């Protein structure tokens, strides 16, 4: 059994705050500063450029990728770190489309994160030739997977509502009509049990700064199924995806397997912080994390609905249908969230009316849930959100 009190003790959690926004940015692992300092002083400082060989910097994107692979059910050697999630979406989608040259439709849904849709729009606009991004309601995805579809581009958990797609069923449906799948795991890696290999996913991508607690701007990852690893051609043919980058050949020759999905120089300092976070994940297993998550989200729904009748639950009530977040609709959701933040309960707001709360069992427990719900009750009973100061919006909501 995972000792969640022990994992909670491995994070810096500011006193007086209840942090329910780990689905947007995870908190600081206590060992991260020392880990980064060791890399900065002992490796960068003392080894300088020789660190690429002596400290194994060049291998870290794949060795750390394997650590993430354990959390998403990937085969060893088929996950690599680097770049941003948007870039990884572009790589995966471009590779999948090239593998289905006779088809022109990319299918996604309205619950997908907008950046994924933007990357698809940009790629398809460059390809031209009748390519189409078809976007449907989340519950309608399966019905729209037809023989026209080249690729499905789906974020497993709706970033607003927390609705969880059935990866296994949708992947099976896509394959039954000859389509490929790209899964975005930004809101499931480190939050729910994911089994990309068992579900037969073709490609998967995700970020590491949310539930994986890698820090702001932490690098993204990409998974390519073994059956595609030496066929998928990277649209972004960066030098570190070359078969022999230090031969400095004038033309691109892709590396074998997942290495070809590398693009640019890996962010070694950011990877050091991520490694510190993954050390905490070594204390857990995802089945225990998922079970705990459902307990906490279920308790939160019960406690909040008892205290805040004005709020409308946007997250599926059925445990199997939700990820590790709870969202409520409220017409003054932004102001209400700012009032909560001012009182030490940190969640976030997603337009037009979603108040969003993330639950990471590694550092959230029942006491946090009950206290947060109690503060929410005070804010709504006293209409404390009804203040002009709380209606002022920053660039990040």
Among this protein's residues, is 209 annotated catalytic? yes
Among this protein's residues, is 184 annotated catalytic? yes
Q: Which of 356, 357, 363, 368 is catalytic?
A: 356
Burial of 257 (C-beta count, 10 Å sphere; 0-12/13-18/19+): middle
Q: Which of 21, 109, 116, 184 is catalytic?
A: 184
Q: Which of 90, 209, 300, 357 is catalytic?
A: 209
Among this protein's residues, is 100 annotated catalytic? no
Q: Which of 35, 210, 290, 322 is catalytic?
A: 210
104 near 130, Cβ under 8 Å?
yes
* Residues 56, 282, 161, 309, CA torsion sign: negative
| Angle, helix 366-381 to helix 286-307, in steps of 10 degrees | 20
Contacts of 142 (CB under 8 A, 6+ apart): 169, 170, 173
Contacts of 123 (CB under 8 A, 6+ apart): 90, 93, 94, 97, 235
Among this protein's residues, is 356 annotated catalytic? yes
107 near 124, Cβ under 8 Å?
no
For residue 119, report the phi and psi dihedrals to the nearest 5 degrees.
Answer: -65, -40
169 near 183, Cβ under 8 Å?
no
211 near 189, Cβ under 8 Å?
yes
Among this protein's residues, is 131 annotated catalytic? no
Greatest pairwise CA separation for the chain in angstroms: 68
236-241, long-range: CB within 8 Å, 24+ apart, which pairs? 236/87, 236/90, 236/91, 236/94, 236/263, 238/262, 238/263, 238/264, 239/264, 240/82, 240/264, 240/265, 240/266
Q: Which of 11, 19, 90, 113 is catalytic?
A: 113
d(CA 213, CA 380): 31
116-122, long-range: CB within 8 Å, 24+ apart, which pairs? 116/86, 116/89, 116/153, 116/155, 116/184, 118/86, 119/86, 119/89, 119/90, 119/93, 120/89, 120/93, 120/153, 122/90
d(CA 325, CA 360): 9
Provide the annotated active-site residues.
113, 184, 209-210, 356
């Amino acid at each position: 059994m995972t000792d969640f009190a022990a994992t909670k003790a491995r994070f810096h959690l500011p006193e007086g705050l209840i942090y329910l926004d780990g689905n947007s940015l995870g908190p600081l692992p206590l060992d991260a500063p020392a880990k980064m300092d060791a890399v900065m002083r002992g490796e960068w400082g003392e080894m300088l450029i020789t660190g690429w060989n002596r400290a194994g910097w060049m291998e870290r994107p794949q060795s750390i990728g394997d650590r993430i692979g354990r959390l998403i059910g990937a085969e060893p050697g088929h996950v690599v770190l680097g770049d941003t999630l948007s870039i990884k979406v572009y790589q995966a989608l471009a590779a999948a489309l090239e593998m289905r040259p006779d088809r022109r439709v990319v299918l996604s849904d309205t619950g997908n994160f907008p950046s994924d849709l933007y990357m698809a729009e940009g790629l398809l606009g460059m390809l031209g030739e009748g390519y189409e991004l078809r976007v449907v309601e989340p519950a309608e995805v399966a019905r729209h997977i037809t023989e026209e579809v080249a690729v499905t581009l789906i974020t497993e958990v709706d970033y607003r509502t927390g609705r969880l797609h059935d990866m296994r069923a949708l992947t099976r449906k896509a394959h039954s009509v000859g389509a490929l799948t790209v899964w975005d795991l930004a809101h499931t890696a480190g939050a729910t049990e994911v089994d990309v290999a068992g579900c037969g996913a073709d490609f998967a991508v995700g970020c590491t700064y949310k539930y994986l607690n890698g820090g702001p701007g932490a690098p993204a990852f990409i998974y390519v199924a073994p059956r595609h690893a030496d066929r998928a051609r990277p649209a972004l043919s960066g030098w570190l995806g070359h078969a022999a980058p230090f031969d400095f050949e004038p033309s691109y020759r892709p590396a074998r397997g997942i290495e070809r999905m590398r693009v640019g120089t890996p962010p070694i300092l950011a990877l050091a912080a991520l490694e510190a976070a993954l050390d905490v994940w070594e204390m857990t297993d995802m089945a225990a994390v998922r079970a705990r998550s459902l307990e906490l989200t279920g308790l939160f729904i019960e406690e909040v609905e008892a205290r805040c009748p004005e709020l409308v639950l946007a997250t599926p009530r059925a445990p199997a249908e939700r990820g590790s977040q709870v969202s409520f609709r409220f017409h003054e959701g932004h102001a209400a969230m700012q009032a909560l933040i001012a009182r030490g309960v940190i969640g976030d707001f997603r337009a037009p009316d979603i108040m969003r709360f993330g639950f990471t069992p590694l550092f959230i427990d029942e006491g946090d849930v009950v206290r947060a719900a109690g503060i929410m009750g005070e804010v709504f009973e006293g209409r404390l959100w009804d203040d002009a100061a709380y209606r002022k919006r920053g660039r990040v909501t």
